[in-house]
Amino acid sequence: MTVPAPSALDAVDVPALHRLLAARRAEMVADLVEYAERETPSDDPLLLTKGLAHLEAWLADRLGPPVERTQYEAVAHGDVVVLEYEGVGDGLTLLAHYDTVWSAGTLDSWPVRVEGDRVTGPGVFDMKAGLVQAVWAIRALRAAGTPHPPLRLVLTGDEEIGSPFSRPLIEAACADAAAVLVFEASAGGGAVKTARKGVGLFDVHVRGVESHAGLDPTAGASAIDEIARAVRTLHAATDLAEGTTVNVGLLRGGTRSNVVAGSAEASIDVRVPSLAAQDRIDALLAGLHAHDPRAAITVSGGWNRPVMERTAPIAAMYALARASAAQLGVDLPETAVGGASDGNFAAAIGLPVLDGLGAVGGGAHARHEHVSVEGMVERAAVAAGVIAAFAG
């Protein structure tokens, strides 16, 4: 896929789009507040269904009916809905998840509030403001009479738990796109994300041999001794200079203090910045072996999200976004982050991806989660410029 050069924005008046959006600032905030006041925890299918129904009604009001709508029923998770909107030029896929990490009832103790330039509340930063910005970017283009390309909006309800249901649907929805825009929140300083680490979730299982710890200790093969050795090996694989972290976050094992443990298990979170680092960790896990030949080690799990490396197409997407922001007098920064998103899936199949195009603020997954209203207006205008560039 060929990403338009920054010169494609010469025909797009981003400051005019910004003025249109600034005039509708209050409506943008109202849309975010109404959306955030509908709780959508990843583990509550009923609330997710209600939240998705609100979104679809709101989208129909703000953008009109899509030319095509496809819904995939998840049962245990939030459904995936794919909406197609007409346009000219090369089609884009827009990714937005509507689930949050916040449990049902959080709003009772932490209601959504607007205080000057700041909107606080569960999910406003990650990532409800991002979807509001995407929709208003499209509205601004239409209001200005500026063409936009065909748009495929993908709404998912399981991103915060690793996208177990939506991953293949996301990959299919991105496969024929000229580029993918991910409206996840920005990083520190408002930076867009041009690289994300890959995430691996693994379990190490040890089978030992039980025996009486006092009467016959040598008859046993301690699974806990083996898992302790494995933990040291795994933690030693962390390479902060490289950007790789291996964290054993959970340990389970044994039955009684007077029994040589017959089983043990460790749960591991791995973050890698490159495919080379991923291969190194794969080799490490494959090479784990028991110190005592009577014990056995097996590894289960896999790479939850592939690495998103800063490829030439991703760099080109950043250059386009930076040129759009420059029309507003903004020097748009970029960064690499340790967290993953659904953008990792699109990048792994070789597509140009621009991630972190959503809210400016902070506090993801924390009680101080917040977004900047001025940031919403600015980033919606920047996104509008990027979208318009693909209309030719």
- CATH number for the domain harbouring residue 250: 3.30.70.360
Report if residue 250 sits inside a domain. Answer: yes
Report if residue 337 sits inside a domain. Answer: yes
Torsion sign over Cα 118, 124, 125, 131: negative
Q: Same structural domain for residues 185 and 126?
A: yes
For the chain, the average pLDDT equals 97
For 42, 114, 362, the CA distances from 302, given in Å and listed in that order, are: 21, 41, 30
pLDDT at 1 over 70: no
Q: Same structural domain for residues 299 and 322?
A: no
The pLDDT of residue 25 is 98
Q: Same structural domain for residues 150 and 28?
A: yes
Tell me the per-residue pLDDT of 194-231, one tens digit each, with 9 for 90 and over. 999 999 999 999 999 999 999 999 999 999 999 999 99
Report if residue 146 sits inside a domain. Answer: yes
For 338: left if phi > 0, alpha if psi spans -120 to 50, otherwise beta; the answer is alpha
pLDDT at 75 over 90: no
Domain final residue pick, 252, 278, 305: 305
Number of domains in the chain: 2
pLDDT at 354 over 80: yes
Q: Same structural domain for residues 222 and 170?
A: no
Domain final residue pick, 305, 334, 365: 305
Q: Same structural domain for residues 120 and 10?
A: yes
Helix ranges (H only) for 202-330 are 223-236, 275-286, 312-326
Q: Please report, for the domain that includes residue 173, its CATH number.
A: 3.40.630.10
Torsion sign over Cα 66, 70, 74, 75: positive
Q: Same structural domain for residues 69 and 180?
A: yes
Report if residue 1 sits inside a domain. Answer: no
pLDDT at 362 over 70: yes
Domain final residue pick, 289, 305, 321: 305
Q: What is the mean pLDDT of residues 176-183?
A: 98
Q: Same structural domain for residues 189 and 279?
A: no
The pLDDT of residue 392 is 83
Q: Same structural domain for residues 223 and 281?
A: yes
Q: Same structural domain for residues 299 and 378?
A: no
Contact call for residues 365 and 101 (beta carbons, < 8 A): yes
Contact call for residues 199 and 243 (beta carbons, < 8 A): no
Tokens of 219: 């008859």
Which residue matches tokens 């933990």? 231
Pick from 253, 266, 263, 252: nearest CA to 209: 263
**Beta strands 198-207; 263-272: pairing state:** antiparallel
Q: Same structural domain for residues 49 and 174?
A: yes
Range of the domain at 103: 6-196+308-389
Report if residue 214 sits inside a domain. Answer: yes
Q: Which residues are catalytic?
A: 99, 159
Q: Same structural domain for residues 99 and 143?
A: yes
Q: Same structural domain for residues 176 and 317?
A: yes
